[in-house]
Amino acid sequence: MKPFLSILILLPLFSNSQNLSIGAKQDRLIQSITSDTINGKYKEILFSYDLLKRVTSITERTSMAEDSSKKFTDQLITDTSTIQQFEYKAEQKEPYLRRTTSFYFDEKEKKWFWQADELQYFIYENGKRVRDSILYKSRSFSLLDKRHEWDFDTTFKTYITNIKHTDSAFYYMCDKTNYGYPMNLYSRSIVQHENSISQLSAHYFASFQIISNSFYTKFDEAINPFNQLNIATVLANEKLSFSFDLNKVRVNYEPTARVHTLELNWLFLNKTNALNYYNEGIDLYYNYKHNMEVSYIYNQLKLPVFCSINISLLDNDGEVYARKKRNFSFRYIQ
């Protein structure tokens, strides 16, 4: 029975992956990346394009089987967690605006609710993104009355980001101190080595500090499909991420472990795909380190169609306390 269940779990991946013929005409545009299934639920990121092959939207969503009768069915319930929409001027390659709408899932009501809207205007000089002008509004979370209630804040707040380029690094800083945002100062930097990102760091400063670092140590010689997108250089400091609750995927480990989220990511800037990387950092009161070893199956065009990630979770002494494996499939527009 167990082998049969394992095959069922991987069915969404293999049905979504593609094996393209050499003679087929390919635009090399990624259509989606889909995770494997956990507890009847899987995550995916979808891409849409205009006639000029420019990205118009990136949608992150979760799908799960509807099981009201306690029996497996073919019905799927799909919920969107984030949608990014890009706008362009005439035939310009780079977007001038990104609209991002995000939603949060209420565990008590078992429903998704609107959380935030952001309008991000990209400002360029000599073809390079040098700063952003951002309008932001959100539903604020208040603990003052200890009822854990969300309140609407419909006023757009404005802040400016600053960007600095060097031959080997990219620095991004966002200051939100003007209106008392919980995370007052945010910065992200990337360090390049031989045309690939070797380190990506993010720091959040407030009454406490959150630090996260990703180190990329090994790459393949195939094509990174996200680097082919027109937004790749604009979003050089960003990544595509899948986050999973470690409390649900942890194996043989105490529930009191101070590690809450596992993040698996792909970068826009790298021309090839990372085969080994690790995330480490400080999140409020605990340290963490996750090591990822990645293997790919490619099509004849050297584009990945299937990905398997072996994950090691390490404690403060560098000892592995748990291991996990996640799989992803890639689809392309034909």
| pLDDT greater than 60 at residue 166 | yes
Return the pLDDT at 156. 74
| Domains contained in the chain, number | 1
What lies within 8 Å, CB to CB, of 130 at 6+ separation is 123, 124, 162, 163
Closest CA to 59 of 86, 29, 36: 86
The closest of 86, 164, 129 to 234, measured between CA atoms, is 129
Q: Where are the alpha helices (DSSP H) in 116-166?
A: none
pLDDT at 302 over 90: yes
Q: Once rounded to an integer, what is the mean pLDDT over residues 308-316? A: 89
> 288 by DSSP, 3-state: which?
strand
Report pLDDT digits (tens) over 35-71. 998 888 899 999 999 999 999 999 999 887 665 444 4
Three-class DSSP category at 142:
strand
Please give the distance of CA 213 from its chain centroid, rounded to a whole number.
15
pLDDT at 194: 56
Q: Residue 39's domain spans which residues?
A: 2-332
Contact 31, 47 (CB under 8 A): yes
Q: How many CB atoms lie within 10 A of CB 120?
A: 18
Is this model's pTM higher than 0.75 or not? yes
Kindly indicate the confidence band of residue 23, based on its pLDDT and cuts at 50, 70 and 90.
Answer: very low
- Look at residue 240 and tell me whether its pLDDT is greater than 70: yes
Return all residues near 73 (Cβ < 8 A) that are at least 6 apart: 65, 66, 67
Single-letter amino acid code for the residue at 64: M
Is residue 45 a contact partner of residue 58, using CB atoms and an 8 Å limit?
yes
Joined tokens for residue 97:
């605006």
**pLDDT, mean of residues 298-315:** 94
Which tops the pLDDT comparison, 151 or 165?
165
Q: Is residue 288 very low, low, confident or very high in pLDDT (cuts 50, 70, 90)? A: confident
CA atoms of 252 and 191, how far apart (whole Å): 36
Does the pLDDT of residue 22 top 60, yes or no?
no
pLDDT score of 283 more than 80: no
Question: Alpha-carbon distance 123 to 134, whole Å?
Answer: 11
- Residue count of the chain, please give it: 334
